[in-house]
Chains A and B, each alone.
Chain A
Amino acid sequence: MAEPSLLDPEAISRGEALGLLARRVVEGYRVGEHRSPFRGFAIEFAQHREYTAGDDIRHLDWKVLGRSDRYYIKQYEQDTNYVAHVVLDGSKSMDYGSGKVTKLHFAKALAACLSYLVLMQRDAVALALFDTETREYIPRTDNLGRIHHIMNRLAAFAATEGTSIGRTVEQLSHQARSRGIVILISDVFDDEEGFSKALQLLRFSGHEVILFHVLDPFELTFPFTGTWKLLGLEELTEIQTSPADIRKSYLANFDAFRERVRATCEKFNTHYVLADTGKSLAEVLSGYLAFRRMMGKK
């Protein structure tokens, strides 16, 4: 069965919009910094092959040309310095947004930006979209031309069910054998133990892990007044309450949750980045990239 979202003009349009957004954000960043914020790994030579029209002449083996007057292209074990695994939580809980932007939309834009940024550096990017299991997986690619494909897939993806980060990461670890960077974009409204095991697995696999904790400003402040009926996005429950009456208790609970997530991240040497959807994407992204560059200098 063909995925209707792939042909959905709106999805395509939204994907283009995402691509434009990512380009603007990343280009803006690059113009300012001139250096990649990400560090690659050592280049491993694989074999030569005969030059064919269209190959990038930068990869010509000039020494062979000088000795034999023949055109050979050097091929490497890996095309890029590293692989960035962008893992996007597409559960129903990500479908909440108090304003125009839902957490999922924000997460998609974030994923697109990061993918574009990575591809622009000629590094490879792989994309995994999951809920209770991996729903969409785009194998690694260093071809910038694939960015549109990535955008379209992101745009076409719709939130479906609950969240299971643990299971998803387990599946991902089988596919991403080489070490790289795992960029996990999620609200982590999941089993916290499973989340902890996932981080543990990724770290033991040698990945560098970054968590973009996507949260809506209403989730952070719980500013409702009056009587509200809250309809669960993942669970089928609904709760009628006066949020003002329980605001203090809710915020205490929520802050404790965030603190536990942060503590888990620190435990497994994972960068924790709060992605407040009330802020601009550029602010969130540049903030983290600046932090990362500062860490790299050290």
Chain B
Amino acid sequence: MGFLNPWVLAGLAAVSVPVAIHLLNKFRIQRTRWAAMRFVQDSLQRNRRRLQIEDLLLLILRCLVVAALVTAFARPVLQTLVPGLLGGDGPAATAVVLDNSGSMGQSNGVTTRFEEGKKAIRDSLENQATGSQLAFFLVSSRADSLIAQPAADLPRFRRSLELAGMSDRSTDLAKGIRAGFEALKPLGGQRREVVVYSDSQMPAWRGLDDIRKLQLANPGIVLKPVILGAAGEDNLAVVGLHAEGGVPASGQPCRFRVEVANYGTKAAEGVRVTVAADDLAPSDETLIPRIEPGATFSVNLFVRFDAPGFHAVTATIPPDRLAIDNQRSTAIQAVDRMGVLIVEGNGEGPVSERDGYFLANALAPVSADRAQKYFLNITTVPFGAMNRASFASYDTVFLCNPGPLSDQAVAALKTYVTEGGNLVIFPGSRTDPAVWKKNAPLSALLPATVGPRKTAVKPPVALQTEGFDHPVSSIWNDRGEGGLSAAKYTEYFPLEVKKGEAKAAVILRLANGDTAAAEWAAGQGRVVLFNAPATPQGNNLVLHPGFVALTQRLMGYLNRGSSARLVLGPGDPFELPTAMELLGRDFSVVRPGEDATRRPAGRVELADQQAVVSYRDTDAVGAYRIYMGQDDFPSAVFAVQMDPTESDLRQAPRPEIEALAVEPTAKEEFSSAAAPRLQVKKEYWTAFLWLAALLALAEAALAHRMSASR
């Protein structure tokens, strides 16, 4: 209990006024002689006690009226201690850090946690001491400083607070806290606080160790986490959307893998998942019967693109409290036809005995009459004619059982790969590892060093049966999709995968741990190296049905290697090489959720001798469409996807987070600050006014009754 106008309480001295009047009346005596004394005496004796009580009662009532009035004008209030934004009586320097990550969009049905945070900040501003300085940061996966240096400019702070908006980025509170500490470091001699308003989801505190180090390094700065919302909110989220399978081509069904995670505490049942291309009606849907708490469920859905070019695909689940992760978009470039060149070491003899026969059939598993229209246009040349081939007209080049490569051939291949081509090598009987090892340019191009050929391996070594960790082979982690264990090797080239800055990835392993296939990026293209020929000599992989899937997935992977840059994280810049004839043309963009409104977005510029479309305003998740001039069809489509961890709304353990708010031991450093401020919870002056009125009424009634009775 306290008073807003405590100085008015001095008016309580006015309580003595009724007493003084009472006494004054008693002592202001008039005198007279009187004859009828015995009647007065008799009346006095009869009424003395009643008179005394009534007088006392009236006096008390009058004193209470005065006291109630004075108390009302002193504005009595109920106050509570607020360890809020500005905790001291003296001026403080405060860095306010507000989490604006995607998870702050979670709604309680009325308002989002981001709005809750803004309201909490506004409320705490009420307790601001004059002269306090404020800095303001928004934090997500990065720290944005709206007021970088603490300033005693409250209007500016309020305006910045109102203008602050959400982002779709993930959270790393350590970045915002660090920014706050850095802003407060130069200030001394006053109370310094970093106040963090966040939903405190667990991934947001991944930098907790760094935060503790910051606290240790800056003992004069107090960190105060303000946790918004309650723990244990349920949330279903689309955490993954990838193109699967082969090359996405127009007119061909393209498979997309949709991953739905349940971050709640109870199982989700009957979750409907749909996919749609280019904001059209859903092209496919499925119903997930049940997702256990904490589990992720994957489904495959198909989309067919009518035309080649860039497309956006969106997967959607039913709405819940956090809207942002109820759908997820990706972008893909569908091809019309792709050129594939197969170079055969042995290109003579019966077709079925040539080195590229099984590979060509796996790449185009259709009848001869349909092969002409198949999206993979396969060209086969003998090894000797390789130098005459123009690699640039092919998307992928396969070398099957290559012999020694000339320097010219290696240089041509290197250029081809560096400029975005894909090279796949199946070594064979013509391959001499020792010669390749001496050929430094070739060795540098390969993801693994080829060892001397192992022959007559007994028993034959099978391919791995589980633990596939490469996108090409990961499908076989699901036993329902079959397996490759039936593929066995009696002869193979041991591959020593290169490690270092450009680490190579293993696509397949043998059961004995040797590498069966490895790949890496070289320039803008990729190089894949197998450990055996694409013929049934020394292995039976090519005879295995899984070989078709393997080659198709490999083609899809290599193609998506160029499409991977179509999927970004929030805030990542989008850059896409384009045709030189577009150089200097203006382009516009249609952002996610903005219907067909085209915003001028920039101009095609030259970068590294290439015409490049560049766009940086990618904070919002969803599909972006870039149009050149007044074109009807987008020249490029890309998608921004939220970090899946942002959908995990489970809060970090409160005690651990609240323990961060430790008062500094070096109190002398901010001696101007005092105890936490009192915040007004409720005012009572109206109640006291009513009380005074009631007492006055009672006094008047009592006085009237007494005068009547006397």
Contact = CB atoms under 8 A, between A and B. Distances in A.
**Same assembly:** yes
Given A216-B35, A231-B33, A239 B40 contact: yes
A241 interface: yes
Residue from B27, B33, B34, B55 with most neighbouring chain A CB atoms (10 Å): B34
Interface in A182-207: 187, 189
Interface string B680-710: 0000000000000000000000000001011
Nearest to A98: B32
B47 interface: yes
Given A226-B30, A246-B44, A237 B710 contact: no
Nearest to B706: A245
Interface in A242-259: 242-250, 253-254, 257
Interface residues of B, number: 27
B42 interface: yes
A275 to B, nearest CB: 14
Contacts of A96: 33-35
Contacts of A224: 30, 32
Nearest to A215: B36
Given A227-B25, A245-B51, A246-B40, A103 B35 contact: yes
- What's the dominant secondary structure at chain B's contact region? helix
A92 B41 CA distance: 18
A100 interface: no
Interface centre among A95, A233, A241 (most CB of B within 10 A): A241
A249 B35 contact: no
Contact of A231 (B32, B39, B41, B55): B32
A230 interface: yes
A250 B34 CA distance: 13
Contacts of B35: 92-96, 103, 187, 189, 216, 219, 233-234
Contacts, number: 95
Nearest to B46: A249
A237 B42 CA distance: 13
A34 interface: no
Interface string B38-60: 11111110110001000100000
A39 interface: no
Given A227-B28, A228-B30, A244 B707 contact: yes
A127 to B, nearest CB: 23
Nearest to A242: B25
Contact of B40 (A93, A226, A250): A250
A225 B32 CA distance: 12
Contact of A246 (B25, B30, B34, B43): B43
Contacts of A244: 707, 710
Given A250-B40, A250-B43, A253-B43, A245 B710 contact: yes
A240 interface: yes
Given A227-B26, A248-B709, A233 B43 contact: no
A234 B33 CA distance: 10
B311 to A, nearest CB: 102
Given A189-B35, A231-B32, A226 B41 contact: no
The A interface, classified by DSSP as helix, strand, loop or mixed, is: mixed
Nearest to B26: A227
A287 interface: no
Given A246-B40, A248-B710, A254-B39, A240 B34 contact: no
B42 to A, nearest CB: 5
Contacts of A246: 40, 43-44, 47, 51, 710
Contacts of B43: 246, 249-250, 253
A226 B700 CA distance: 19
B30 to A, nearest CB: 5
Nearest to A235: B37
A232 B47 contact: no
Q: Which of B40, B42, B707 is the most central at the interface, judged by chain A CB atoms within 10 Å of its CB? A: B40
Given A242-B25, A244-B707, A250 B39 contact: yes
Contact of A245 (B31, B32, B47): B47
A93 B36 CA distance: 8
A174 interface: no
Contacts of B41: 237, 239
A67 interface: no
Contacts of A216: 35
A232 B41 CA distance: 11
B29 interface: yes
A237 B28 contact: no
B25 A189 contact: no
A254 B41 CA distance: 12
A298 interface: no
Interface string A54-83: 000000000000000000000000000000
Contacts of A240: 29
A232 B30 contact: no
A219 B46 contact: no
A229 interface: yes
A129 to B, nearest CB: 18
B220 to A, nearest CB: 70
A96 B28 CA distance: 23
Contacts of B710: 244-249
A103 B34 CA distance: 12
A229 B31 contact: yes
Contacts of B33: 95-96, 230-233
Interface in B467-494: none
Task: Name the residue in A229, A239, A242, A246 with the highest tally of chain B Cβ atoms < 10 Å from its Cβ.
Answer: A246
Contacts of A232: 33-34, 37
B39 A230 contact: no
A230 B40 contact: yes
B253 to A, nearest CB: 108
A235 B55 CA distance: 29
Contacts of A239: 34, 37, 40-41, 44
Interface in B1-31: 25-31
Nearest to B30: A228
Nearest to B42: A253
Contacts of A250: 39-40, 43
B442 to A, nearest CB: 126
A163 to B, nearest CB: 10
B28 to A, nearest CB: 6
Nearest to A256: B39
A111 B32 CA distance: 27
Nearest to A93: B35
Contacts of B44: 239, 241, 246
Contacts of B28: 226-227
B34 A233 contact: yes
Contacts of B30: 224, 226-229
A189 B36 CA distance: 7
A241 B47 CA distance: 11
Contacts of A235: 37
A250 B27 CA distance: 22
A230 B32 contact: yes
A226 B43 CA distance: 17
Contacts of B55: 245
Interface in A33-57: none
A233 B36 CA distance: 9
Contacts of A249: 43, 46-47, 710
A230 B34 CA distance: 6
Top 10 nearest A-B pairs by Cβ distance? A249-B43, A230-B34, A93-B35, A96-B35, A246-B43, A232-B37, A253-B39, A250-B43, A229-B31, A231-B33
Given A219-B36, A232-B33, A257-B39, 16 more contacts: A93-B35, A96-B35, A189-B36, A227-B28, A229-B29, A230-B34, A230-B37, A232-B37, A233-B34, A239-B40, A239-B41, A241-B44, A246-B51, A248-B709, A250-B43, A254-B36
15 contacts: A92-B35, A93-B36, A94-B35, A189-B38, A224-B32, A227-B25, A229-B31, A232-B33, A233-B37, A245-B47, A246-B44, A246-B51, A249-B47, A249-B710, A253-B43
